[in-house]
Amino acid sequence: MMKNKGGSMSNKAQNTQDDIWGVIAKGLVEAVKMVFSVFVLIFASSVNTSTSEMSSKITWDDDDGFRNGQDGPGYYEGGFRLDKDDD
């Protein structure tokens, strides 16, 4: 009977140790999720910034067709107004 009590004690210690490892593993999983979330936020903000930089690089020459250009509204191609009335 003494062996059963001793075995019972080691089972409690083993269960406690397993519980500790379980808590550590859950904590590591949560830490990894947080780090992943930070990387996703950084990536999402950099993607949003790069698209706005692209639209700000458009110049008058990039927009051919009818628009309100530097010589007033009219049809422009390559930065030159094509339908300008030269009287």
Q: What is the pLDDT of residue 60?
A: 53
In 18-87, beta strands by DSSP E: 65-69, 72-77, 80-81
Asked if the structure places residue 1 within a domain, the reply is no
Inside any domain, residue 2: no
At 62 the pLDDT is 62
Domain annotation covers residue 75: yes
**Residues of the domain holding 43:** 10-81
Q: 3 lies in a domain?
A: no
Band the pLDDT of 73: cuts 50, 70, 90.
Answer: confident
All residues at 6 or more sequence positions from 60 whose CB lies less than 8 Å from its CB, including other chains: 69, 70, 76, 79
5 part of a folded domain = no
Tell me if 83 sits within 8 A of 66, measured CB to CB: no
pTM here is 0.41
Number of folded domains in the chain? 1
- Residue 77's Cβ-count burial label (10 Å; 0-12, 13-18, 19+) is exposed
Distance, in Å, from the CA atom of 50 to the CA atom of 42, rounded to the nearest integer, reads: 12
